[in-house]
Amino acid sequence: MKPPAIVLTAPGTNRQNDAAFALEQAGAAPVCVDLLDLPGRRGEIERAKLIVIAGGFSYGDALGSGRVFALEAERLLGDLLAEKVAQGTPILGVCNGFQMLVRSGLLPGALQHNERGHFECRWVALQPSSQLCVWTKGLDEPVRCPVAHGEGRYVAGTAVIEQLRFEDRVAFRYAADDYPDNPNGSVESIAGVCDSTGLVLGMMPHPENHVTERQSRAMVTTQKRGHALPLFRNGVLAASAS
Amino acid sequence: MKDTPLSTSGPSFAKVIKPCGAHRDRALTRQARQLGFAGVSLKASDIFFLRGETDTANLRFIVPRLLDDAQGEAARLEVGTTTVPAGRLVIEVARRAGVTDRVAAQLAESAARSGCRIEAATGSRFEMTGAGELPEKDLRFLVHNLLCNPVIETWSFGEVQPGFTSAPAEESSTVEIVPLCGLPPEGLARINNERALALDPEEMEAVAQWFTAEGRDPTDAELETIAQTWSDHCSHKTFAARIETDQGEVVPLLRQLRETTRAMKAPFVISAFDGNAGIVAFADGVRLAIKAETHNHPSAIEPFGGANTGVGGVIRDVLAAPARPVALTDILCFGPRELDHHNLPDGVLHPAVIEEGVVEGVADYGNKMGVPTVAGAVLYDTGYTANPLVFCGCVGEVLRGYDKLSGPQPGDRVLVVGGATGRDGIRGATFSSMTMDATTGEVAGASVQIGDPIIERLVADLLVELLDRPDPLVRALTDCGAGGLSSAVGELGETTGVSVDLIAVDRKYAGLQPWEVWLSEAQERMVLAVPPAQAAAVLERARHLGLSACDIGEFTGNRRLLVRHGAKQVVDLPMEFLHKGRPVRRLRAVLPSPDRRPDTRHRKADIPKTLLALLAHPNIASKEAIIHRYDHEVLGATVIRPMAGSAQSGPSDGTVIAPPQRPSGFALGIGVNARYGLYDPEHMAHAVVDEAMRNITASGADPAQTALLDNFSWGDPRRPETLGDLVATVRGCCAAAQLYGAPFVSGKDSLNNEYVASDGTRRSIPPTLVITALAHVPEADRSIGTALRGAGHVLVLTGRTTREFGGSHFNLVTDDESGTVPAPDASAPARYRRIHTLVREGLVESAHDVSEGGLAVTLAEMAIGGRLGIEATLDDPDECSALFSESLGRLVLEVRAENIPRILESLGAEAKVIGKVVKSYHLHLGARTWTGTDLEHAWRGSTS
């Protein structure tokens, strides 16, 4: 049976259909649930085997990216996301979803304005680097996909970075340190981090926008396309196991 | 949060200051330096003004929860006078009351959710160093260009007063009667002028006559309604005018375009020049709606807001089709970036400032809506300094309920959904139909709207829910654009009649006059005609999404436009007079007589330098600094993106969009070349249609299944020469559409793009025609880009090169004026179709069209995109023409060597092998060689 997946959205989320398509391709059965649909549809989240928090501009990012999303999720869901993690449910936050997870305290660090001061959309190469993270475990090829954000510069105190490295929680790094490979000036080129269980992954780039051959056909001339579908397959695998 | 002691005395509001951070300070300082203020450094902070339940405990709760940032600079609370460090100038800016402010609204809402009832307003603080020696005039220039736009903000040295919007105001219901009957022409002209109606004298006369016959004078709202409805913006009166020329009267321009389309009988045209957008259905049965609009005047005075709401407006046109928006385009025309600010006309913002604001405005709306911005162009010319142009286009997938839209029936309810109504953007339609001068920025303040893309995102979700079903809950819909409710309600009720009560309209704040509610162009609003039985359900769904939704009246059956404010009558006009009463405009045109004699001049040039100069010319140089600020990937359907090659280093021609669930998709191509228009408007039209067709052909789309859009931005059509250029251009458009078998399905004109300087001299923009091609891509998996794919491949030039330099970029960089504008190429359409067949057979690796700068630029760009080299030979003794002529109808194809026979067999004498792709990154043309690095450095500038 296909594991039931939730794509969690808030008003202003805009990549929910992209995320749902990627989950379908990876073998999950996704439905979108918006914070506006709560508490009515809380049960669906409780029953979900996998959760993706999709990208976009929740609440217009009016008080800083992901902040109101996190506050409203806390108001409407309480500790449900933390409880899901405790039950072994993998959670992926992409872009605005990552920002929301950081604001919620489920992931460490912060996402500041890009170093260049404006929104940036371009394809990047990502080096998967964590064997703890259920989403990146076993990925050895670099993943290629676009970034599309204005506030994606990952920062954290040196002690936190040290701990992330020590605990194998840096899930993705941009291929190189300099702009434009590292498109936002993230510390240590960090593109994604996971929590201490390895179940919760937050990342700025959009793996959901590279799950078919066609999406990269004009960009890639070699066989190593860097598909992101294996990332979603990993998530579905972990969901089935939970 | 710093531990600042709070006192209960002092100002009646609390103030939280939050430094924006180093990224913002760097950007501002860089921009100040670009404007010529070398010694100035800036530091920016956001200001949040709070009042209401702002006792210490509440503030200590709110500030860290809603405003402070982990890892960033801390917000601090300030009470009392601002302290100014020595050597610094402090400038504070506050958003004016009534201007859309999502941050303030969200802050108040989130605080309320946390149990604190506060009102919020926002502003900015700038600390400036190094400005000590600046003359007051320069300082003001800097403030108005970089720190504050007085159209939407107030500012002061030191502390500014916040603009709380929820200040209680008296609800007003004043309806003014404007005495018109019996006035002599001068009296009518005075009212026309005072009220900025922008009507022609004959139209004022017709209005006065009608009211005289009725035996009464108009209300303020009636006069405004007529002015909006009869504006060039809403009624296209120039395109519908009777035009007299030396060669007799010409068929009205809009009719020429319509009849051209009708005569072509293209099976894929579902709806052309009707409603909010053109609709086509290509071979895969998917119906697409397409529309492009301009937002030129608003972008001149408030670049961010103008461009932002330009995008929002065209998206609503497509939503009203009704369709789900899937792609955006933007074509931007600016004055030169490096213009000395001392040479700027009075009251005009600096071109670099306009460009920054416009690009940010386009990016902000599209990115937040979640619709990819995928195609466009950017042009620079001194003619655009006072009149920048912002063309915004949108493509949508038509919703299933389209077939069931029957139009309003008597008894249907009039619902307004989306944003609430405020005092923003009043008189936009008439404003856009006026000439600008030095005071325009001040008097037209209320004409500028600020958008809220998140509201429009939710409006789109609501409409999909209501209309993407076989039994839609809505019978008709339109968007509130120029003219606000007056246009939208007036249009929707044209055939039935409609009666509304303005008291029922949701307001952002109290205090609006009835005519302001009626005319407001507050953004993100749609008007729906809904059967009474469904109205409650529609309102409920809209409110569930957090949208404003109100039922303001009903469609009648009496064919009158009736507007009241409670018991008070505001408008009572028959639809017949409103929509048919405008006297046909009569205009005179002097047709241009372009020089088309054969060019006998053999040109010589420093070829190595000329190519680098062309690549570095702002019109040709890489637009990546802009393109990468637009999300061109959202929805996951982007196949050919605006930057080409694996390093996204080259320019694309057409872009291809195909949802991953479907084999087919569509391509978008853009043609624009105002320089040709200066010399030969008719041939310009051919040239830009050809460019749009080349673009879509180069990306793998089917030129036989292509629809076109026309967008004209022009000067004042009441000047016979300006109108003559327009007449010649429309003639060229119609002829080109027939030649290529590509019908026009929609269009828009923006006229009066002129500026009157304080010394009385007029400046008009160059005649600017933008053509958008929307083409079917039968197999998206076969689409191709412009970047070279592999060493060993062969390059084939298709089409004929002749000596055509009029309006060329070769002329521009060599300071030459001679030559003729490229002539139409009658053989191009058949050739493009053959190329399409070859692409479908998988025989073409990449393709790039020859446009501004000629063949040399095309080859350089293909090399840059693929980071591969080219070795090509030229057997033409006229080297300049071979390399830099801009003859139409040409594409360069990259082909595998084994496929050459098949290519040549298909294209015959129209194709010629010119060289091959090599691994070493250089361009070798005849006897000359450029390194790839030099080419890339010239083309990409500091961005590489």
pLDDT by residue (tens digit) across B325-335?
A: 999 999 999 99
All residues at 6 or more sequence positions from B213 whose CB lies less than 8 Å from its CB, including other chains:
none
Q: Report phi then psi at B86, rounded to 5.
A: -60, 145
- pLDDT above 70 (res A222): no
Give the confidence band of B513 by pLDDT, cuts at 50, 70, 90.
Answer: confident
> From CA A32, how far away is CA B848, in angstroms rounded?
41
In a domain, B624, yes or no: no
Q: Give the residue on B whose Cα is nearest the Cα of A37.
A: B544
Q: What is the mean pLDDT of residues A123-127?
A: 96
Distance separating alpha carbons of residues A195 and A164, to the nearest angstrom:
9
**In the predicted structure, residue A87 carries a pLDDT above the cut 70:** yes
User: Taking CB atoms and an 8 Å cutoff, what residues of chain A touch B24?
Assistant: 113, 117
**Same domain, yes or no, for B66 and B125?**
yes
Contacts with A159 from chain B: Cβ below 8 Å? none
Cα–Cα nearest to B797, from B867, B854, B864:
B854
Q: State the pLDDT confidence band at B944, using cuts at 50, 70 and 90.
A: very low
Decide: B165 and B509 in contact? Cβ < 8 Å: yes
Hey, are the CB atoms on A11 and B546 less than 8 Å from each other?
yes
Residue with tokens 């890639």: A220
C-beta separation of B195 from B239 below 8 A: no
Of B567, B584, B601, the residue that ends a domain is B584
Domain match, B552 and B417 both: yes
If asked whether residues B147 and B206 sit together in one domain, one would say no
User: Closest to A14 (Cβ–Cβ): which among B370, B645, B661?
Assistant: B370
| Alpha-helical regions (H) of A78-221 | 80-86, 96-104, 158-166
Position B4 scores a pLDDT of 40
As given in the structure block, the two tokens for residue A109 are 């660090």
Q: Is residue B506 part of a domain?
A: yes
- Mean per-residue pLDDT for A226-242? 93
Q: Please count the residues of chain B.
A: 944
Contact assignment for A123 to B648 by CB distance below 8 Å: yes
Question: How far A219 CA lies from chain B's nearest CA (Å)?
Answer: 4
Q: Which two tokens stand for residue A43?
A: 């049960």
Do both B94 and B225 map to the same domain? no
Determine the average pLDDT of the residues in A214-224. 78
Above 90 in pLDDT, residue B881?
Answer: yes
pLDDT (tens digit per residue) in B362-374: 999 999 999 999 9
Model pLDDT, residue B98:
76
- The tens digit of pLDDT for each residue in A173-183 reads 999 999 999 99
Across the interface, whether the CB atoms of A148 and B113 are under 8 A apart is answered no
Do B550 and B471 sit in the same domain of this protein?
yes
Closest among B475, B329, B455, B464 to B397, alpha carbons compared: B464
Asked if pLDDT for residue B572 goes beyond 90, the answer is yes
> What residue type is assigned to position B413 of the chain?
R
Find which of B454, B641, B867 to mutate to test the A interface (most A CBs within 10 Å of its CB): B454
Catalytic residues of B: 233, 295
Determine the 3-state secondary structure of A201 from DSSP: strand
Percent over 70 (pLDDT), chain A? 98
**What amino acid occupies position B779?**
E
Structure confidence at residue B9 as a pLDDT band (50, 70, 90): very low
Instruction: Give the total number of structural domains in chain B.
Output: 2
**What pLDDT, in 10s, does the model give residues B33-65?**
989 898 899 999 999 999 988 788 888 888 888
pLDDT at residue number B171: 62
CA distance B319 to chain A (A): 16
- Whether the per-residue pLDDT at B546 is higher than 80: the answer is yes
The minimum CA-CA distance between A133 and chain B, rounded to whole Å, is 25
Identify which of B458, B643, B660 has the shortest CB distance to residue A11. Answer: B458
Residue B209's domain is classified under what CATH number?
Answer: 3.90.650.10
* Residue B462 three-state SS: helix
- Nearest CB partner across the interface for A15, out of B69, B370, B789: B370
At residue B729 the predicted structure's pLDDT band, cuts being 50, 70 and 90, is very high
In a domain, B462, yes or no: yes
With an 8 Å Cβ cutoff, are A21 and B103 in contact? no
What mean pLDDT do residues B781-797 have? Answer: 97
One-letter amino acid identity for A76?
Answer: L
What is the CATH topology of the domain spanning A4-241?
Rossmann fold (3.40.50)
Q: Is residue B470 part of a domain?
A: yes
C-beta pairs of B21-24 under 8 Å, 24+ apart in sequence:
B21/A112, B21/A113, B21/B72, B21/B73, B23/A112, B23/A113, B23/A114, B23/A115, B23/A116, B23/A117, B24/A113, B24/A117
Domain finish residue from B103, B132, B157: B157
Count of CB pairs separated by less than 8 Å, A with B: 152
CB contact under 8 A, A209 and B639: no
Confidence of residue B74 (pLDDT cuts 50, 70, 90): low
- Which of B559, B584, B609 corresponds to the end of one domain? B584
Q: Which residues of A are catalytic?
A: 95, 206, 208
Determine the structural domain holding residue B89 and report its residue range. 14-157
Percent of chain A with pLDDT over 90: 94
B454 and A59 within 8 Å at the Cβ level: the answer is yes
B808 has pLDDT over 60: yes
CA nearest to A35 within chain B: B545
What average pLDDT does range B670-686 have in this prediction?
97
Q: Which residues of A touch B634 (CB under 8 A)?
A: 14-15, 18, 148, 209
- The chain A residue lying nearest B660, using CA atoms, is A212
Give the closest residue to B482 by CA, choosing from B647, B649, B306: B306
Domain contains B52:
yes
Q: Is the pLDDT of residue B6 over 60?
A: no
Q: What pLDDT is attached to residue B7? A: 38
Q: Hey, are the CB atoms on B646 and A14 less than 8 Å from each other?
A: no
Contacting residues of A for B458, CB less than 8 Å apart: 11
User: pLDDT tens-digit profile of A17-26?
Assistant: 999 999 999 9
Q: Give B463-497 pLDDT, tens digit per residue.
A: 999 999 999 999 999 999 888 999 999 999 999 99
For chain A, which residues make up each domain, given as ranges?
4-241
> Nearest by CB to B634, which of A14, A63, A217?
A14
The string of DSSP codes covering B330-376 is EEEEE--TT--GGGSPTTPPPHHHHHHHHHHHHHHHHHHHT--EEEE
Q: How far is A52 from chain B (nearest CA, A)?
A: 16
Whether B568 and B419 map to the same domain: the answer is yes
Separation of first and last alpha carbons in chain B: 41
* pLDDT recorded at residue B1: 37
**Residue B97's pLDDT is what?**
80
Helix (H) / strand (E) element for B18: namely: strand B14-19
Res B425 pLDDT > 80: no
Mean pLDDT of chain B: 91
Facing residue for B630 by CB, picked from A17, A121, A218: A121
Residues B420 and B557 placed together within one structural domain of the fold: yes
Tokens representing B536 are 């409650």
